[in-house]
Structure 1
Amino acid sequence: MPSSIEHASTSTIATRLAEWVVNLTFDEMPQDVVEIACRLVLDQLGLQIRGSTLPNVAPVRAVAERLAGAPDCTVTGAAWRTTAPHAAYVNGTMGHSCEFDDAHMRAAHATSTVISTAFAFGEQHGSMGRDIVTAIVAGQQVMSLLGAVAMPGMQDAGWHISKVLGVYGAAATAGRLLGLDAAQLCNAFGIAGSDAGGTMEYDRSGGEVKRLHAGSAARLGSEAALLAQAGYTGPATIFEGHRGLFAVFAHETSVARLEESWGKWQIRDTMFRLFPAVGTIHSPIAAVARLVDDHDIDWRDVRAIRVGLDELSFGHGASIVHPHDAISAQFSLAYSIALRLVRRSNRVADYFDRSSYTDPGIAAVADLVTPYLMPVPEGDPIFSSDVTITLLDGTEYQHYERGFPGHTVNPASAEQVLAKFRSNVEDVLDPQQADALIALTADLPKLEGLRPLTALLSG
């Protein structure tokens, strides 16, 4: 249990979080927390490597290369180097590029932001592996504790948690590796608050801008830490103040949920995504996959598909039927179900293949999908679903999926995360390079620096 944040205090939340981040030690973290962090690093690096090949984030890479400053840090898949904030920006964007990074109910896609920040600043400053792991856990913890208050109000208002809270996670991660004291880190949080933002309109009409939310949060939050180190200041009441995060973004005045969460390692609640799509539709994808496998359903025989969803999933993934770009495809319940029925797969390539968006069979099945609001049974998590497929002859097949594969109620195994990594890098790295990355990330806490890892990441 993170003992150094259990105490009650009359200090501001920013002060208390800063004190905890500064005082956290590697040795007080439980072994499973360290192992989860290392597994998340492997997952994230695999996604950055895959992202370095994708066209949707190529403009981010191109602009960052034109603006490249001091060649301090590695950009995954690139021969050029840049400053730590810009390396975190590009790498975080690539990590979030294919809607396949981890998810958390309070911190959304935290590690695309905090791991890219930790690697950039860890590389620049020659940090030990154990210090990088500690900074990752610290950044994720900060985002999750803030999310304990900000959710669900922030989500309901249309703000993207990853971007809004990511600036604070990046400030904590970078601040830790820069050696900021508590007063400086408190200022970094206050400075970062002026760069918090990012709406979720992409889940209604698409737009690849969503991909850079993790990266821009990494850049802006880490720059806030650098500014604080240089003596710049920000409001200490940035979180609970009258015009602070909770009031402005979440319309929330009570911090009771944050207080209740002080003593828990939040990284334990991370969900590894095993489908490259928004997490709110993973349960119905898994349910359809089960029905197709169990009953060998031919998509040509399907008359209707009814999908029961909780309110959050219904509003954050069920709006788009016929996508026009990768992000709208990955936020389309109907398209994802159609892929599973027609192609019996939900691969990254399926979401980036533009010809699939107008494929007659996929489009026809997508039109058969009808989502509806469903009360989730007591004791079951949101993101559960109930799917009924009706055939032309009247036969009905039904399956209720509690959570989804990778959810905390059905956690991804180490073998599944490893297989996902290999799948993401198989067209980019040779098997020996992949094996080396796997071994190095497993031993990250023992490494004296990141050079052996970054040597495998550069183009």
Structure 2
Amino acid sequence: MSPERTASERIAEFLTALRPEDIPPEVLQRAKLHLLDTLGAGIAGAASREVLLSRSALAAAHGTPSPGTGSPVWGTPAGLPPLAAAFVNGVACHAFELDDSGGCDHSGAVVVPAALAALAVRAGGSAGGADDGGTGVDGGRLLHAVVSGYEVGRRVQDALGGYDPVNNQGWHSTGVTGTFAAAVAAGVVLGLDAPQLVSAIGLAGSFTGGTWAFIGDGAMSKRMHVGRAAEAGLNSALLAKAGFTGPRDVFSAPWGSFLKLYGQPGDVQESRLFDTLGEDWQVQRASIKPYATCRSTHSAIDAILELRDRGITAEATQKITVRTSALIADMCGTADVRSLVSTQLSMQFALAAALMHGTVGLDEVAEQGRNDPRLRELMGRIHVEVDPEQHGGSAEPFLTVQTDTDSFGVQAVKAKGAATNRLSDQETIGKFEGLAGTRLPGDRVKAISKLVLGLESVADAGTLLGLLAADSEPAVLR
């Protein structure tokens, strides 16, 4: 009698048997929108200081390839070896907090860089690549890879009890679970069979980690967690393709169980890894972000914008009190704009910028925007308090606003862009075009959008790679 299948084997058998035509059309559409959204975030993120530093560090290790060689660093003329490109593009996708959430938590920023770097591997003729320079991967398989990555990343997080239990222990969930998402996405692109994909999942378990220590000083390690997950996922898939084995039971091994290491006994439920596979598609649960700040500030931003539309101004506002969960207060309750990271995690900044400008985008979070003396002064009038009745990172805050003449109370609701309050397809496309247009000419932006939205009919998904390069280096946005 053969031993019972492990969770990794159940996942691998499902994903390797899956075909694009088996995936519901509405799920494929969500995958295309999240792919497009991630590309926009990563192309714009090429202008981040974190990407500049990452490229410099990796060039010291790998050398600087000639333009047009290697795997593209999106939004730049540069290329890097695929593993390095996966890292840098992952960092870029998360650099401005404009990548999606609600997956592992930032699924797109780990899945898409890993999948596209795997395409570059295929184009180079290794790991089963085509000899003529094509990838041998059509658009349908790339969509299959994206769906698979979202599927596994969110399921691993759910098996640990969800976002809140992981983060309450001080782990950054994307660093802990994103490697699995990247591994299966890259594995599908590389054409791994079921035993190989089991090994890739098992190997990915040895690359996990990342703590919230950056919250104290706004350090850049938050971005590194995402890039590292993308890079390590691709590495795991490449090793497995070559025959390097990983444990077949990484999640519940008697010694070294991933779920026991990162989860608490009352939270862990291994069956969430494979229950409802093929029924409950996890990309449907992800959200697309309209603002360049931590997702936990978004519903409060929406509430302030609602009041702004009703005529409340920054000048007339005497005090804003935000009552929210302890987790959000700890994560986003500091009025610190010394760095880009700390700014994007600040509830006070997010609400002050939204009230002053009507949005919170790249101009607002950039150094000049966040150091505006008027904004700093308004931030001093915004206070974050813990409401013991609210819990977790998805809590919806209650805002009280005192103006010169009146007082208003507003209950935030599900943030715009959430899975239950989605941006329209056209809003998502518009977001992509605005972000990609910071680095690429308009005709190239339109070509990417057209290709991704019609990906099922694309014969060689590697065509996308050539569209992501810019003609010049970006000016760094700090």
The TM-score normalised by the length of structure 2 is 0.88
Amino acid across the alignment from 1:44: T
3-state DSSP of counterpart to 1:67: helix
Tell me the distance in 2 between the aligned counterparts of 1:356 and 1:222: 37
Report the CA distance between 1:209 and its aligned residue.
2.0
2:119 — aligned with what?
A: 122
Report the CA distance between 1:230 and its aligned residue.
2.2
1:172 — aligned with what?
A: 184
Amino acid across the alignment from 1:371: V
3-state DSSP of counterpart to 2:332: coil
Contact 2:325 2:390 in 1 (8 A): no
1:286-325 to 2 correspondences below 5 Å:
286-295=302-311, 297-318=312-333, 320-325=334-339
Contact 1:168 1:193 in 2 (8 A): yes
| 1:147 lines up with 2:162 in the alignment | no
Contact 2:7 2:270 in 1 (8 A): no
Amino acid across the alignment from 2:107: A
| 1:276 lines up with 2:292 in the alignment | yes
Tell me the distance in 2 between the aligned counterparts of 1:148 and 1:261: 13
Aligned CA distance change for structure 1 residues 58 and 25 (closer, same or farther; 3 Å): same
Amino acid across the alignment from 1:271: S
Aligned CA distance change for structure 1 residues 455 and 229 (closer, same or farther; 3 Å): closer
Report the CA distance between 1:101 and its aligned residue.
0.5
| 1:19 lines up with 2:13 in the alignment | yes
Amino acid across the alignment from 1:273: K
2:226 — aligned with what?
A: 214
Tell me the distance in 2 between the aligned counterparts of 1:50 and 1:139: 23
Which of 225, 237, 244 lines up with 1:225 in the alignment?
237
Contact 1:65 1:80 in 2 (8 A): no
1:248-287 to 2 correspondences below 5 Å:
248-252=261-265, 253-258=268-273, 260-262=275-277, 263-287=279-303
1:131 — aligned with what?
A: 141
Report the CA distance between 1:188 and its aligned residue.
1.7
Where does the alignment leave 5 or more consecutive residues of structure 2 unmatched? 123-134, 471-478
Contact 2:325 2:393 in 1 (8 A): no
Contact 1:26 1:134 in 2 (8 A): yes
Amino acid across the alignment from 1:287: A
Across the two proteins, how many residue pairs are aligned to each other? 445
Contact 1:307 1:386 in 2 (8 A): yes
Amino acid across the alignment from 1:265: W
Amino acid across the alignment from 1:32: E
| 1:424 lines up with 2:435 in the alignment | yes
3-state DSSP of counterpart to 1:300: coil
Aligned CA distance change for structure 1 residues 312 and 260 (closer, same or farther; 3 Å): farther
3-state DSSP of counterpart to 1:96: helix
3-state DSSP of counterpart to 1:372: strand
1:110 — aligned with what?
A: 107
Tell me the distance in 1 between the aligned counterparts of 2:465 and 2:288: 23
2:209 — aligned with what?
A: 197
Amino acid across the alignment from 2:206: S
1:349-406 deviations in whole A, cap 9, x for unaligned? 21122x444433222221222223347799x99342221110234x112222211110
3-state DSSP of counterpart to 1:168: helix
Where does the alignment leave 5 or more consecutive residues of structure 1 unmatched? 1-8
Report the CA distance between 1:299 and its aligned residue.
1.9
Aligned CA distance change for structure 1 residues 281 and 289 (closer, same or farther; 3 Å): same
Tell me the distance in 2 between the aligned counterparts of 1:75 and 1:63: 14
Contact 1:123 1:449 in 2 (8 A): no
Alpha-carbon RMSD: 2.3
Tell me the distance in 1 between the aligned counterparts of 2:418 and 2:315: 31
Report the CA distance between 1:80 and its aligned residue.
3.1
1:82-133 deviations in whole A, cap 9, x for unaligned? 32222211111111110011111x5111111111111121233211111111
| 1:344 lines up with 2:358 in the alignment | yes
